[in-house]
Amino acid sequence: MSLELRNVSKRYPNGAIGAVDVSIEVDRGEFVALFGPSGSGKTSLVQMMGLLMPPDSGEVHIDGERVDQLSESSAAVLRRTKLGFVFQTAGLLQLLSAAENVDVSLRLLGIGGRKARERVKTALDAVDMGPRADHRPDELSGGEQQRVAIARALVHAPSYLLADEPTGELDTNTGAAILSLLREVANQGTTVLMATHDPAVLDYVDRAHFVQSGTLHLPDRNELALWLAEGTAIQSVGE
């Protein structure tokens, strides 16, 4: 089982470059990070992997099946079943409790009743939010809201979790707790791909790529740590 981009390229109408002939494969249970400055293209790669945006050229494969040419309705089904998403802002519905926010993912799949309640409870317990299940977002801290967002992304047992700057609005300690949680998610078999500029991520991931001007490099950790420390562009060994 894997999530793969094959030679994908993406350019926007304003001339911005999202990807240039990028290939990457993420296997089951891996925790992989895409680092890069704002505008480098890392979010574009996440969105193409998540079928939120089609590439201009190249292919997207999920579990051996080409999926970038699916109809929107078929892509939506795939997103609801095999993919989970976590973004920089939790995006919880303010009038719903934590449990109700998580339950939304199951309702989209037509799952309700006792089965849904059990799965919501399991998902919230997994992110240590069971005791806060009845609280609305305005009664939760930023870190707690992000935990609920992760539970919402995982409640339907997706194969792949795509995260775009999930610690971007969190303090250091809260961000570390979220990264530890994502590491555990990967350890349990869910593939995690994260776009980030948070250097703390290096302590949790299996592999880290650097994205610059739409291209992808695989630096060693010393090179990547140097870029994160100095904010300078790096190139992979031998390039």
Query: pLDDT of 200-217, one tens digit each?
Result: 888 899 999 989 889 988
Instruction: Give me the mean pLDDT over the 118-146 stretch.
Output: 94
**Predicted local distance difference test score (pLDDT) of residue 230:** 62
If one compares 226 and 237, the residue with the highest pLDDT of the two is: 226
Q: What is the pLDDT of residue 117?
A: 94
Least Cα distance to 104 among 126, 119, 88 occurs for: 119
What pLDDT is attached to residue 236? Answer: 35
Distance CA 210, CA 119 (A): 36
| Average of per-residue pLDDT across 27-40 | 89
Residue 120: which of 36, 221, 111 has the closest Cα? 111
Scanning the structure block, which residue is given the tokens 């992997």?
Answer: 49
Does the pLDDT at position 235 exceed 80? no
pLDDT surpasses 70 at 239: no
**pTM across the whole model:** 0.88
Distances (CA, A) of 100 to 37, 50, 129, 218, 226: 35, 24, 13, 40, 43
The mean pLDDT of the chain is 89
Task: Match 């989209």 to its residue by tokens.
Answer: 108
pLDDT tens digits for 85-121?
Answer: 999 888 999 999 999 999 998 998 899 999 999 999 9
Phi/psi at 92 (5° precision)? -80, 150
Confidence of residue 238 (pLDDT cuts 50, 70, 90): very low
3-state SS string over 45-65? HHHHHCCCCCCCEEEEEECCE
Residue pLDDT, tens place only, 40-80 = 899 999 999 999 999 999 999 999 999 999 999 999 999 99
Q: Quick check: 233 pLDDT over 50?
A: no
Beta bridge pairs of residue 60: 5
How many other C-beta atoms are found inside a 10 Å radius of the C-beta of residue 174?
A: 17
